[in-house]
Amino acid sequence: MSPPAPSAKPAVLERITERRANSPKCARCGLVNFRTEATCKRCGASLDEATNDTTHAATASAAMLPEHAPGSKAAFLFRRAAAVCGVTALLLFACYVSLIFSSAPLNAEQRRVVDRAIDVLDQRGFARDALILRRLVNYRASDNWWNRYVGHADAYAATNFPFEVVTLYPEFFNKSADDVERAAILLHEAQHLRGRGEEDAFTTVWRAKRQLGWTHDSHGNTRVWRNVSEFTEKHAPKLFRCGPDGDTDCYE
């Protein structure tokens, strides 16, 4: 027995479907016309115009998809920038917290000593530095993990910028002669709190020593004076190139 002949029905349906797909549909009355027709058989509307309108509408719809919407690129960049800023802020905050929790705070007496030194700065014309030192700084009495890692040599204080953390070592309290010398040390650290380097910090303090009342005549024999004088000449030698011999302090 021979197998039945394949049915022609699927092929017919395929041709019908293809014709319908290629046949223009009137945008006015909805009638599907033959593709050879230029106008609708029912209402007489132009099929070319209807086709163009349909194509234009489809193009406009596609243009309004999220990837083509006006300003989508700017919005994407803004979201990326916001995400980067958020992650950066979170990392900075985590680092700040780690600096605080890995060090000890000042005790009440040490805090009073610091406040008196800041008052000296305020009274002698350094109000902006005094404001920074009084309002923005978290003072610590021992090294945090970062200071322990980088180390320090013969320091009275250390500043962690931009975290505004200032560590005051025992020498700040027991090796300085008075509140004026401690004010000079804090003025130095205030420059670091502004993001300035050692040269700027030593230069600022050395130029301001008369205004502070911290001079060779009044404090020339103290340990702090000798240390600061030595490091200032090292970091800012131009301040000691005055006088006939070119080897004199320019601010004495």
CATH entry 3.40.50.300 includes domain 101-240: no
Tell me the pLDDT band of 5, cut-offs 50, 70 and 90. Answer: low
- Region 218-224: what's the mean pLDDT? 95
- Region 154-174: what's the mean pLDDT? 94
Burial of 6 (0-12, 13-18, 19+ CB in 10 A): exposed
- Region 10-38: what's the mean pLDDT? 65
CA 14 to chain centre: 64
Which range among 140-154, 183-197, 215-229 shows the weakest confidence by mean pLDDT? Answer: 140-154
- Region 177-190: what's the mean pLDDT? 97
What CA–CA distance (Å, rounded) separates 192 from 186? Answer: 10
Residue 46 is predicted with a pLDDT of: 76
Where are the CATH 3.30.2010.10 domain residues in the chain? Answer: 101-240
What CA–CA distance (Å, rounded) separates 119 from 207? Answer: 20
37-55 burial code (b ≥16 CB/10 A, e <16): eeebeeeebbbeebeeeee
216-225 burial code (b ≥16 CB/10 A, e <16): eebbeebebb
Which range among 5-9, 185-189, 216-220 shows the weakest confidence by mean pLDDT? Answer: 5-9
Write the pLDDT tens digit of every residue in 81-111.
Answer: 899 999 988 998 899 999 999 999 999 999 9
Tell me the pLDDT band of 241, cut-offs 50, 70 and 90. Answer: very high
Residue 80 is predicted with a pLDDT of: 87
Residue 94 is predicted with a pLDDT of: 92
Write the pLDDT tens digit of every residue in 127-162.
Answer: 999 999 999 999 999 999 999 998 876 789 999 999
Burial of 186 (0-12, 13-18, 19+ CB in 10 A): buried
| Confidence check: pLDDT of 179 > 70 | yes
